[in-house]
């Protein structure tokens, strides 16, 4: 197969999750030809969408581990980066609560680990302080981490990619790398969207980073998928939660324990569970785990066990820990292959990968800099064009928008107050992501309490106006088609 | 933007069967400036997608389709000097009856003398009933499917299973059969159907579609598109019975698992809502706990017949016009609550001394050979009584008290 357009890329990034997109943006500061290849129909379709969206402070991981170092370094970067990119986020602080006096020692261990890693501001607080901070939460003692925060993980991922695209990086969706050939010191990456040749490759393929590495003849890794199920409340549940509340990490839980996390919009996330599964894409939810989540909610925040949930979902963690083995901790792997110089793999990037992503990106750039001349571009734009949501505007600004463009006056989503202008803008994203889920993640259409019941026909109509025929409309690409053609007129 | 620039006497929010009638009612009671705001591009609300027959028997004394019913009602409104705006969505309602309205014509604030809420309802979703499994394409609420099939003319699947036996689900079962979709069965978790008997008969039995009571979908399978569902019997506690699971291959799952009055604006206005109806707590004039704001139709409580939503709309519109003209009820509040086997009763509040009040009520389970009585809670006096050989939860009932009401009441079923 011939190389697409005869072009040779300086760096190809495989995988459009938060890490791949952070790497792409960091590289887009330099005078390089860049491409990111994502196998799904949109960015953030894998590990990066199904998590709690917590900006971690860094006390949950062993000091001196790569997880701890990139987490603490990432924490120093991530808030400013999110502000620069216009990604909604909030420094909320966090509580890790101990229900019994004997668990206080565990909190002290966490604090000591955090202190050693350089996590700022950690302190142990008593029940009265918990009550002041989170009146609905339960606990005898808590570790309070003031610098923990929340962010929308998929908005962050998309924003990183949009910024990179604005600075000249290319992104190909629905382009899974199916084969890798090395010829003339170039990596030739075969995808259904054509073949791409690159001098260097960054493998940030998340759950599939082991398989992608194997395509290049690097048989060093094995990813074990661990599923985590979540439940999410209605914004109108009447329950207020200011900050994430975690239990003392249970000894038998491969994750951080089932916790509660506020979203920026006012929902509460409950989860995740942690089950080793066989299938990397098995994001089914189960009755058993839903019951377990509720039971845990009853412990952390009794009122939460009594309110209705509007949605459940599951995400998969890419762990390096064999569920049948003795090891409990697997560190991030970020390394250049000795066998395939120029090929850098990021493997096992689970929590706290979202927070660590900006630091991991800097690390990857430094590794690439050893082998290539990196020249800063004079015209790098660190931000991206961003419109504040209609729902977040005051009356005057709303009136101004509608007066200028009537599309701001046409409400598409009644639950989240999203306008046609915002849906059209989302569909005209620079990557060509044109699925219902792509619209949902960019606009919140379908995330409200009707869960798409009312806005779906409207979005289907707008998609057709934008040139997507009805039978090509999908939920999230691939075989997730919505329709089987038209009915007889 | 500061002060609202625009005013009206009565603002009606929603142009479906209740809202259209409310605008008419307001005019009949003499309201001057009546404004009807509809968020869709056409009037009629959900009627537009109800292409089946069976509307209008009570209002127009003949049965017509949903769109025809909407058209007639809209024509009646068009004969009145009512200002109708479509594509106009009310985003906020304050206690002082200031509306924030967005439309392609502009974003503006409106001060209303009285407001009639007629926003209708929305459907309970998969997430709310927590159906486990994967999250593929092909899972639709029945009303959404109805819109896609009847208004967008789209083929939503080839083989369907329907969870829940609400009226829309029953009607969609038949509709899908008409369009060549194989409907493999309707599964209802309760021991009785959710929809009207006539719909069970005309939409399922007449087409040989199986209805399985006391069973539910316990898992959705399929990665990209629905590939199958697992159904199982449930016990008295509605928990699935192990060993009764059965896999049904299909590419589409329709959910007809309940309707919820859409009271987002009501909540913004700080209105008291009833946990029994999901709608506002109202008095005999259909006024809510927010003075000057009235409620009718499916936003107040779920109706099974559109005509009755319209009758309620007419009444709410009339009372709203009176309020806008300065009329105020005087008297203390008498509370009315549901008694044995009654799910809810409406209105929940009556002004003491009022005579001739009619209540809507719904039973909580099917009952046979009962007397429904409106009883004084303190005196035990029976204010009204009706004898029924059979009452079903799917059928809204009415009972009227002719006497003046002076004490708290209970509406209940008695042997």
Residue A483: inside a domain: no
Buried/exposed code over A429-455 (b: 16+ C-beta within 10 A; e: otherwise):
bebebbbbbbbbbbbbbbbbbbbbbbb
CB atoms B154 and A285 under 8 Å: no
Is B91 at the interface with chain A, CB within 8 A? yes
| Last residue within a domain, chosen from A257, A274, A309 | A309
Same domain, A205 and A345: yes
Same domain, A83 and A164: yes
Judge contact between B392 and B366, C-beta under 8 A.
yes
Q: What integer is the mean pLDDT of B82-107?
A: 98
Looking at the predicted structure, is the pLDDT value of residue A2 above 50? no
Nearest residue to B257 via CA among B344, B157, B211, B190: B190
How many domains does chain A divide into? 3
- pLDDT cut 70: percent of chain A above it: 98
Nearest residue to A257 via CA among A96, A457, A473, A439: A96
Per-residue confidence (pLDDT) for residue A374, from 0 to 100: 93
Per-residue confidence (pLDDT) for residue B115, from 0 to 100: 98
CATH of the domain at A98: 3.30.9.10
User: Cα separation of B12 and B218, whole Å?
Assistant: 42
CB atoms A483 and B155 under 8 Å: yes
CATH of the domain at A418: 1.10.10
| Residue pLDDT, tens place only, A328-386 | 899 999 999 999 999 999 999 999 999 999 999 999 999 999 989 999 999 999 999 88
Which of B91, B103, B154 shows the shortest C-beta gap to A483? B154
Is B1 at the interface with chain A, CB within 8 A? yes
Is A266 at the interface with chain B, CB within 8 A? no
Which of B107, B133, B155 shows the shortest C-beta gap to A398? B107
Nearest residue to A111 via CA among A97, A122, A127, A98: A122
| Residue pLDDT, tens place only, A50-84 | 899 999 999 999 999 999 999 999 999 999 999 99
Is A313 at the interface with chain B, CB within 8 A? yes
CB atoms A417 and B91 under 8 Å: yes
Looking at the predicted structure, is the pLDDT value of residue B3 above 80? no
Contact pairs from chain A to chain B, CB under 8 Å: 150
Same domain, A175 and A283: no
| Last residue within a domain, chosen from A386, A416, A438 | A386
Contacts of B274 by beta carbon, 8 Å cutoff, 6+ apart: B280, B281, B344, B348
CB atoms B123 and A456 under 8 Å: no
Per-residue confidence (pLDDT) for residue B330, from 0 to 100: 85
Residue A213: inside a domain: yes
CATH of the domain at A52: 3.50.50.60
Per-residue confidence (pLDDT) for residue B415, from 0 to 100: 86
Nearest residue to B407 via CA among B373, B383, B371, B372: B383
Nearest CA in chain A to B225: A480
Q: What is the mean pLDDT of chain A?
A: 95
Residue A100: inside a domain: yes
CB atoms B153 and A487 under 8 Å: yes
Per-residue confidence (pLDDT) for residue A469, from 0 to 100: 94
Per-residue confidence (pLDDT) for residue A482, from 0 to 100: 97
| Residue pLDDT, tens place only, B27-69 | 999 999 999 999 999 999 999 999 999 999 999 999 999 999 9
Per-residue confidence (pLDDT) for residue A5, from 0 to 100: 52
Q: What is the pTM of this model?
A: 0.94
Which of A310, A474, A479 shows the shortest C-beta gap to B125? A310
Angular region, A198: left φ>0, alpha ψ -120 to 50, beta rest: beta
Is B238 at the interface with chain A, CB within 8 A? no
Residue A466: inside a domain: yes
Per-residue confidence (pLDDT) for residue A308, from 0 to 100: 85
Q: What integer is the mean pLDDT of A244-264?
A: 91
Which of A284, A450, A484 shows the shortest C-beta gap to B133? A284
Q: Which chain B residues are Cβ-neighbours of A410 within 8 angstroms?
A: 87, 103-104
A:5-64 residues touching chain B, CB 8 A cutoff? none
Catalytic residues of A: 56
Q: Do domains B125-257 and B334-414 have the same CATH topology?
A: no
CA distance A200 to chain B (A): 33
Domain B334-414: CATH class, spelled out: mainly beta
Q: Which chain B residues are Cβ-neighbours of A231 within 8 angstroms?
A: 130
Looking at the predicted structure, is the pLDDT value of residue A41 above 50? yes
Same domain, A255 and A404: no
Is B270 at the interface with chain A, CB within 8 A? no
Which of B102, B130, B144 shows the shortest C-beta gap to A402? B102
Nearest CA in chain B to A286: B132
Per-residue confidence (pLDDT) for residue B326, from 0 to 100: 96
Which of A231, A461, A482 shows the shortest C-beta gap to B137? A482
Q: Which chain B residues are Cβ-neighbours of A454 within 8 angstroms?
A: 122, 144
User: Cα separation of B264 and A61, whole Å?
Assistant: 43
Q: Which chain A residues are Cβ-neighbours of B38 within 8 angstroms?
A: none
Same domain, A433 and A286: no
Looking at the predicted structure, is the pLDDT value of residue A201 above 50? yes
A:188-247 residues touching chain B, CB 8 A cutoff? 231-232, 236
Q: Identify the helix (H) or strand (E) that includes residue A24.
A: helix A18-27
User: Cα separation of A258 and A295, whole Å?
Assistant: 10
Q: Which chain A residues are Cβ-neighbours of B111 within 8 angstroms?
A: none
Is B130 at the interface with chain A, CB within 8 A? yes
Domain regions of chain B by residue span: 6-122+260-327, 125-257, 334-414
Same domain, A14 and A145: no
Q: What integer is the mean pLDDT of B154-177?
A: 97
User: Cα separation of B194 and B229, whole Å?
Assistant: 21
Per-residue confidence (pLDDT) for residue A236, from 0 to 100: 82
Per-residue confidence (pLDDT) for residue A1, from 0 to 100: 41
Residue A489: inside a domain: no
Q: What integer is the mean pLDDT of A171-192?
A: 97
Residue A488: inside a domain: no
What's the CATH number of domain B125-257, 3.20.20.70, 3.40.50.2300, 3.50.50.60, 3.30.420.40?
Answer: 3.50.50.60
Q: Which chain A residues are Cβ-neighbours of B256 within 8 angstroms?
A: none
Nearest CA in chain A to B143: A453
Same domain, A126 and A242: yes
CB atoms A287 and B157 under 8 Å: no
B:169-208 residues touching chain A, CB 8 A cutoff? 179
Q: Which chain B residues are Cβ-neighbours of A449 within 8 angstroms?
A: 122, 125
Nearest CA in chain B to A407: B104
Is B87 at the interface with chain A, CB within 8 A? yes
Per-residue confidence (pLDDT) for residue B2, from 0 to 100: 57
Residue A484: inside a domain: no
Is A286 at the interface with chain B, CB within 8 A? yes
| Residue pLDDT, tens place only, B143-161 | 999 999 999 999 999 999 9
Looking at the predicted structure, is the pLDDT value of residue B114 above 70? yes
Same domain, A37 and A161: yes
Range of the domain at A447: 390-472
Residue A366: inside a domain: yes
Q: What integer is the mean pLDDT of A198-225?
A: 98
Q: What is the mean pLDDT of chain B?
A: 96
Q: What integer is the mean pLDDT of A7-23?
A: 97
Nearest CA in chain B to A416: B91
Nearest CA in chain B to A453: B144
CB atoms B148 and A457 under 8 Å: yes
Q: Which chain A residues are Cβ-neighbours of B179 within 8 angstroms?
A: 487
Same domain, A214 and A67: yes
Helices A66-85 + A153-166 axis angle, to 10: 70
| Residue pLDDT, tens place only, B285-324 | 999 999 999 999 999 999 999 999 999 999 999 999 999 9
CB atoms B155 and A410 under 8 Å: no
Q: How confident is the model at residue A199 (pLDDT cuts 50, 70, 90)?
A: very high
Per-residue confidence (pLDDT) for residue A342, from 0 to 100: 96
Q: What is the ipTM of this complex?
A: 0.94
| Residue pLDDT, tens place only, A103-126 | 999 999 999 999 999 999 999 999
Is B104 at the interface with chain A, CB within 8 A? yes
Give B99-118 as a 3 state SS string. Answer: EEEEECCEEEEEEEEEEEEC
Q: How confident is the model at residue A449 (pLDDT cuts 50, 70, 90)?
A: confident
Per-residue confidence (pLDDT) for residue B1, from 0 to 100: 57
Q: How confident is the model at residue B352 (pLDDT cuts 50, 70, 90)?
A: very high
Is B6 at the interface with chain A, CB within 8 A? no
Looking at the predicted structure, is the pLDDT value of residue A237 above 90? no
Looking at the predicted structure, is the pLDDT value of residue A42 above 90? yes
User: Cα separation of A461 and A467, whole Å?
Assistant: 10
Q: Which chain A residues are Cβ-neighbours of B48 within 8 angstroms?
A: none
Query: Three-state DSSP class for A407?
Result: helix
Nearest residue to B167 via CA among B196, B207, B147, B191: B196
Per-residue confidence (pLDDT) for residue A273, from 0 to 100: 95
Looking at the predicted structure, is the pLDDT value of residue A489 above 80? no
Same domain, A74 and A119: no
Domain B6-122+260-327: CATH class, spelled out: alpha beta
Which of A284, A286, A402 shows the shortest C-beta gap to B106? A402
Same domain, A364 and A414: no
B:338-397 residues touching chain A, CB 8 A cutoff? none
Q: How confident is the model at residue A387 (pLDDT cuts 50, 70, 90)?
A: confident
End-to-end CA distance of chain A: 44
Per-residue confidence (pLDDT) for residue A325, from 0 to 100: 87
Same domain, A264 and A376: no
Is B264 at the interface with chain A, CB within 8 A? yes
Residue B287's alpha-carbon distances to A50, A107, B91, B320, B403, in angstroms, are 45, 54, 21, 8, 21
Which of B104, B133, B134 shows the shortest C-beta gap to A406? B104
Q: Which chain A residues are Cβ-neighbours of B223 within 8 angstroms?
A: 281, 479
């Amino acid at each position: 197969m011939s190389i697409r357009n005869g072009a040779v890329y300086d760096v190809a990034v495989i995988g459009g999750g938060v890490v791949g997109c952070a790497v792409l943006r960091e590289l887009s500061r330099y005078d390089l030809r860049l491409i990111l290849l994502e196998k799904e129909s949109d960015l953030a379709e894998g590990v990066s969408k199904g998590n709690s969206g917590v900006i971690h402070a860094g006390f949950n991981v062993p000091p001196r581990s790569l997880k701890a170092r990139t987490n603490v370094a990432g924490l120093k970067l991530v808030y400013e980066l999110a502000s620069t990119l216009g990604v909604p986020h909030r420094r909320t602080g966090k509580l890790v609560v101990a229900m019994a006096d004997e668990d206080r020692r565990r909190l002290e261990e966490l604090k000591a680990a955090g202190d050693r890693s350089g996590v700022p501001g950690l302190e142990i607080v008593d029940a009265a302080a918990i009550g002041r901070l989170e009146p609905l939460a339960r606990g005898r003692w808590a570790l309070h981490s003031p610098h923990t925060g929340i962010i929308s993980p998929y908005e962050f991922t998309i924003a990183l990619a949009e910024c990179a695209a604005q600075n000249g990086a290319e992104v190909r969706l629905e382009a899974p790398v199916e084969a890798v050939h090395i010829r003339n010191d170039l990596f030739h990456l075969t995808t259904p969207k054509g073949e791409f040749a690159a001098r260097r490759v960054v493998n940030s393929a998340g759950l599939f980073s082991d398989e992608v590495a194997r395509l290049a003849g690097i048989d060093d890794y094995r990813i074990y998928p661990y599923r985590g199920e979540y439940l999410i409340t209605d914004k109108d549940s009447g329950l207020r939660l200011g900050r994430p509340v975690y239990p003392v990490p249970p000894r038998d839980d491969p994750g951080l324990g089932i916790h509660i996390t506020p979203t920026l919009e006012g929902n509460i996330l409950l989860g995740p569970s942690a089950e080793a599964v066989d299938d990397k894409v098995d994001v089914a939810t189960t009755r058993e785990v839903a019951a377990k989540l509720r039971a845990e909610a009853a412990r952390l925040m009794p009122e939460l066990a009594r309110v209705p949930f509007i949605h459940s979902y599951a995400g998969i963690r890419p762990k390096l820990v064999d569920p049948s083995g003795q090891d409990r901790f697997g560190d991030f792997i970020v390394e250049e292959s000795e066998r395939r110089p120029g090929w850098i793999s990021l493997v096992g990037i689970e929590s706290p990968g979202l927070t660590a992503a900006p630091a991991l990106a800097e690390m990857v750039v430094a590794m690439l800099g050893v082998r290539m001349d990196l020249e800063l571009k004079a015209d790098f734009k660190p931000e991206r064009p961003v419109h504040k949501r209609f729902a977040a505007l005051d009356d005057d600004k709303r009136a101004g928008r509608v007066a200028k463009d009537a599309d701001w006056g046409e409400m598409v989503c009644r639950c989240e107050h999203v306008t046609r202008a915002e849906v059209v803008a989302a569909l005209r994203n620079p990557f060509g992501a044109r699925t219902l889920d792509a619209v949902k993640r960019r606009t919140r259409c379908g995330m409200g309490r009707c869960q798409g019941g009312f806005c779906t026909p409207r979005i289907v109509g707008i998609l057709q106006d934008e040139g997507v025929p009805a039978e090509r409309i999908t939920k999230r690409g691939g075989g997730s088609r919505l329709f089987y053609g038209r009915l007889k007129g | 933007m500061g002060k609202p620039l625009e005013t009206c006497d009565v603002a009606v929010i929603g142009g479906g069967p209740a809202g259209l009638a409310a605008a008419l009612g307001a005019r009949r009671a003499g309201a001057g400036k009546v404004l009807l705001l509809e968020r869709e591009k056409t009037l009629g609300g959900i009627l537009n997608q109800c292409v089946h027959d069976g509307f209008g028997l009570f209002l127009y004394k003949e049965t017509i389709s949903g769109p025809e019913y909407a058209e007639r009602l809209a024509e009646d409104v068009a004969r009145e000097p009512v200002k109708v705006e479509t594509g106009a969505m009310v985003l906020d309602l304050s206690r002082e009856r200031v509306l924030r309205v967005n439309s392609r014509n502009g974003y503006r604030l409106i001060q209303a003398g009285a407001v009639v809420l007629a926003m209708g309802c929305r459907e309970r979703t998969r997430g709310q009933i927590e159906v486990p499994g994967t999250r593929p394409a092909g899972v639709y609420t029945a009303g959404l499917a109805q819109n896609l099939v009847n208004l967008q003319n789209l083929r939503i699947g080839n083989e369907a299973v329907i969870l829940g036996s609400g009226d829309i689900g029953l009607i969609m079962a038949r509709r899908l059969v008409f369009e060549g979709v194989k409907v493999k069965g309707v599964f209802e978790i309760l021991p009785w159907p959710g929809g009207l008997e006539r719909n069970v008969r005309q939409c399922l039995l007449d087409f040989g579609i199986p209805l399985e009571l006391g069973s539910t979908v316990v898992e959705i399978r399929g990665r990209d598109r629905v590939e199958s569902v697992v159904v199982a019997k449930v016990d008295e506690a509605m928990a699935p019975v192990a060993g009764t699971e059965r896999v049904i291959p299909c590419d589409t799952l329709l959910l007809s698992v309940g309707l919820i009055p859409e009271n987002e604006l009501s909540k913004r206005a700080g209105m008291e809502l009833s946990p029994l109806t999901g709608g506002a707590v109202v008095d005999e004039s259909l006024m809510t706990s927010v003075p000057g704001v009235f409620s009718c139709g499916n936003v107040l409580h779920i109706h099974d017949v559109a005509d009755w939503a319209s009758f309620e709309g007419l009444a709410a519109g009339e009372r709203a016009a009176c309020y806008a003209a300065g009329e105020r009820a005087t008297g203390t509040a008498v509370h009315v609550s549901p008694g044995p086997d009654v799910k809810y009763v409406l209105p929940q509040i009556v002004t003491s001394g009022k005579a001739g009040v009619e209540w809507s009520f719904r039973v909580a389970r099917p009952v046979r050979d009962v007397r429904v009585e409106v009883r004084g809670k303190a005196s035990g006096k029976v204010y009204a009584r009706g004898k029924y050989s059979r009452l079903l939860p799917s059928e809204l009932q009415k009972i009227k008290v002719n006497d003046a009401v002076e004490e708290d009441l209970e509406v209940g079923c008695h042997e």
